[in-house]
Amino acid sequence: MLIRPATAADAPAIARVQSLTWQSAYRGIVPDAVLDGMDTAERIQQRAERWLENLSSGANIVHVAVEATAAVVGFAAAGRCRDADLPQYDGELFALYLLPAYQGGGTGRALVQHSAAALRAAGYRALLVWVLQDNHPARGFYERLGGQPVSQKSITIGVDLVEVSYGWPDLARAFEAAS
């Protein structure tokens, strides 16, 4: 599996992976009506346009996982932490999505490690990620990578939900034991 920086040409594939992964990962957590509406051509196009803007701006660090056929099967996006209430975390992993067939084989870990390395190279010192409280597989993944519980907040995605955050306060030493 190749992990590489995303380009603007990857925007449609990133949008597709995001939609399909949401439908898989959040089924039973997020209302079905929200998830079922995600894979319409119009919604995927809108999401692709947002990713194109994001990738073109260069404001965030985005990596894609590409299989041998050159198909994008996952991605991670990171950048400056958006949570002013947690100033000790200057970097944030905004998104990590991997098609279900590719989960459990180390690709998600590689995407996180590439994101962390890029954040370190850009001068960031610590990393935070938010995950839905009821998304137990994702929480277990971040815990296995050494993430420590930090905080929680409410979010609305069709219904009121709770997100919990995991943090790595020292990016220079993060993921050593998980490698």
Q: What is the pLDDT of residues 40-60, one digit of tens each?
A: 677 888 888 988 988 888 889
Q: What share of the chain is helix, strand, coil (3-state, %, to 5)?
A: 35, 30, 35
Number of domains in the chain: 1
Q: Is residue 178, in this structure, part of any structural domain at all? A: no
Q: Is residue 92, in this structure, part of any structural domain at all? A: yes
The strand ranges marked E within the chain are 2-5, 61-66, 72-80, 91-98, 127-132, 148-156, 160-168
Domain, as residue range, for 73: 2-168
CATH of the domain at 101: 3.40.630.30
pTM for this entry: 0.89
Position 93, amino acid: L
Q: Is residue 112, in this structure, part of any structural domain at all? A: yes
pLDDT digits (tens, 9 = 90+) for 103-155: 989 999 999 999 999 999 999 999 999 999 999 999 999 999 999 999 999 98
